Amino acid sequence: MAAPFDEPGRPEEGMSAETRRQRAYRAAASVVDPEIPAVTIEDLGILRSVEMEGDTAIARVTPTYTGCPAVLAIELAVEAALREAGFEARVERVISPAWTTDWITAEGREKLRAYGIAPPAKASNSIRALFGETDVACPRCGSRQTARISEFGSTACKALYRCAACHEPFDYFKCI
């Protein structure tokens, strides 16, 4: 009989519950954001947990914005990834506590920057943090001489900025 990890597609009988859970977690965590494929849902902090209930892996995900059209796509992708990894799967949507951009990991922030999206300002929990938010560094040249073109950008989570130093427009991931 093959060792548990030789066949990546199926959870083996002999695997411990915790190993199986971790395996399910890795499968769910590898799902990328359909609108920003440079980052995974783990990077974004959207994947809250994966628990096992018998043979069923239950993944809990949280939406970034209430009306984000990517939510459904992400839920379907997580379910598909778990089934692909050989689990029965269920995806639950949790809305509390509310997602905040502070949950984006350090790695996720760096991936966003490398992708050309300025990562959100930190410490977003206060509603007042939304105001006067002008200190955004250009993801291409690093200059802080940037100006907001539009509060609302290509998706609900992004605003449109322009860099005065390199003259490139860029997306800014709004802090929320």
Partner 1 sequence: MADRATVSREALTAFLLRLADDHLVLGHRLSEWCGYAPMLEEDLAMPNMALDLIGQARALYQYAGEVEGKGRDEDQLAYLRRERDYVNCLMAERANGDFAHTMLRQLYFAAFMEPMWRGMRSSSDAQLAGIAAKAEKEVAYHIRHAGEWVVRLGDGTEESARRMVAAVEALAPHVDELFESDAVTTAVAQAGIAPDPATLRAAFDAVVGPVFAEAGLQWVETPFGRTGGRQGRHSEAMGYLLAELQYMQRTYPGMTW
Output 56 or 125, the one with its CB closest to partner 1. 125
Identify residues 68-107 at the interface with partner 1 (CB under 8 A): 68-69, 94-100
164 is a site residue for partner 1 (CB under 8 A): no
Size of the site for partner 1 (CB under 8 A): 28
Distance CA 33, CA 117 (A): 14
Output 98 or 114, the one with its CB closest to partner 1. 98
Cβ–Cβ under 8 Å, residues 53 and 92: no
User: What amino acid occupies position 25?
Assistant: Y
Output 90 or 148, the one with its CB closest to partner 1. 148
Distance CA 39, CA 138 (A): 19
Cβ-Cβ contacts under 8 Å for 77 (sequence gap 6 or more): 31, 32, 34
127 is a site residue for partner 1 (CB under 8 A): yes
Give the other-Cβ count within 10 Å of 140's Cβ.
15
- Pick the binder of partner 1 from 151, 164, 165, 167 (CB under 8 A): 151
Bridge partners of 52, per DSSP, are 57
Output 65 or 115, the one with its CB closest to partner 1. 65
Taking the complex as a whole, how short is the minimal distance between the CB of residue 71 and partner 1, in angstroms? 9
Candidate ranges 7-15, 20-28, 63-71, 135-143; the one touching partner 1 (CB under 8 A): 63-71
Radius of gyration of the chain (CA): 19
